[in-house]
Amino acid sequence: MRKVEFVALIVFLGLASAAFADQITLKNGDHLTGTVVKSDGKTLVLHTEFAGDVTVQFAAITQITTDKELHVTTSDKKTLVGPVTTSEGKIEVATKTGGTVEVPPANVVLIRNGAEQAAYDKSLHPGLQHGWTGGANVGFSLAGGNSETENLAIAFNAVHATLDDKFTMYASSIDTQNHLTTPSTVADLTQGGFRYDRNTGQRLFGFVAADFMANALQDLDLRAVYTGGLGYHAIKSDKTVLDFLAGLNYTHETYSNGPPVTVAGSNPPVLVVPLTYTSYGVTNKFAALTLGQELMHKAGKTTVLTEKLYFFPELSKNTGNYRGTFNLGTVTKISKWLGWQNQFSDIYVSNPPSTAKKNDVILTTGLNFSFVH
């Protein structure tokens, strides 16, 4: 008698455990028991006790019965929460507020259990220490023989994006030295800054930014530009993003007049210092417009193209003066974290120091190391 009672108890517990588990039935008649984890409308992941996660084709499922709540997202971007069953070829979600809602299987876009939904919600609003993506670029070259030059180009960018806002940081430096006969600097340009975007609608966003630049060939010790304005997503998709931006900025820039020079032919050589030369040179402070356009496009599966065009006309001091910048770059993936980058930049200043040219054109190429945190 005791043996019969024991066997009955085991059978009862087995049936009870099955009753409190999710079950799916396939077209071939197979039954699977476990916990529904997630589905993308094409496949469904079921966690089983002994086989672990099992992935099945969503179209091969004829019946679903769940004990716990699932989060079901439909093609019209609605999310239904509740236990799920199937009836007459339709998925039924027993919601707490709207009762039972029927959804055709073809209209199911996503299914997540509670743990998967919580992880997804957290990924949409990560803390400032998480959710960063970006990369570092490195390019280096040497030349010998008729010339002895060294070139080093490095750059870094990082983006922290959520559904509501985006924080961007960047920095870059190019240093080229010529060591033949008289050592000289061929290029010495350093840039850096950050920008914060806050969405105010589906297309519109506000932004604030601070950008800094030093350019030895234009005798620019430091230019600081503090900007605020509005932006508009003309195109916003997974493949292409096209933005237009407009705002006001305050610019503070300091030029030196370059190093002292010696006049050839004098004996002894006479040191000549420009009349306007001081330890800090000329300082300009003015308000200006910020007008910009930015493009990101995924060209195929491995290449990302970026392009930025900005125009900064002065408003408060010399209204005929302006600056302009243009950047065009590509990164082609070689592996998950390694890529090949190419970058073209054109920096234009309408009123540089008298000894400097208005344009600086820069072309760099090298390796890109990407990261996700």
How would you write the pLDDT of the chain (373 residues) with one tens digit per residue? Answer: 455 554 444 444 444 444 458 989 998 988 899 999 999 888 999 998 888 888 999 888 988 999 889 999 998 888 899 999 987 778 899 998 888 898 888 888 899 998 888 877 776 666 666 778 889 999 876 666 665 777 888 999 999 888 788 999 999 998 887 776 666 666 788 999 999 999 998 899 999 999 999 988 778 889 999 999 999 999 988 899 999 999 999 999 988 865 554 444 545 555 554 444 434 478 889 999 999 999 999 998 899 999 999 999 999 878 889 999 999 999 999 998 999 999 999 999 988 776 677 888 888 889 999 987 6
Predicted pLDDT of residue 9: 43
Q: Where in the chain is the domain with CATH 2.40.160.40?
A: 133-372
- Those residues whose C-beta lies under 8 Å from the C-beta of residue 292, and which sit 6 or more positions away, are 243, 244, 245, 246, 308, 309, 310, 311
Look at domain 133-372 and name its CATH class: mainly beta
Q: How many residues does the chain have?
A: 373
Predicted pLDDT of residue 280: 46
Distance (Å) of CA 177 to CA 140, 148, 187, 188, 330: 12, 8, 7, 9, 26
Judge whether 327 and 343 are in contact, CB under 8 Å. yes
Distance (Å) of CA 134 to CA 7, 201, 298, 301: 61, 25, 15, 18
Judge whether 225 and 310 are in contact, CB under 8 Å. no
The stretches of the chain forming alpha helices (DSSP H) are 2-19, 114-124
Supply the pTM of this predicted model: 0.65
**How many whole angstroms separate alpha carbon 42 and alpha carbon 106?**
9
Please write down the long-range contacts of 29-37, taking CB distance under 8 Å and 24 or more positions apart.
32/56, 35/68, 35/113, 36/64, 36/66, 36/70, 36/84, 36/111, 36/113, 37/112, 37/113, 37/116
CA angle 219, 220, 222 (to 5 degrees): 150
Closest CA to 100 of 85, 78, 117, 110: 85
**How many whole angstroms separate alpha carbon 195 and alpha carbon 313?**
20
- The label of the residue with tokens 């589906």 reads 202
Phi-psi bin for 145: left (phi > 0), alpha (psi -120 to 50), beta? left
- The string of DSSP letters for 88-123 reads TTEEEEEETTTEEEEE-GGGEEEEEEHHHHHHHHHH
Name the 3-class secondary structure at 217. helix
Tokens matching residue 15: 């049936």
Q: Which H or E element spans position 271?
A: strand 270-272
Judge whether 332 and 299 are in contact, CB under 8 Å. no
Dihedral of alpha carbons 49, 50, 52, 56, sign: negative
Dihedral of alpha carbons 327, 333, 336, 337, sign: negative
Strands 52-57 and 61-65: unpaired
Closest CA to 209 of 104, 96, 294: 294
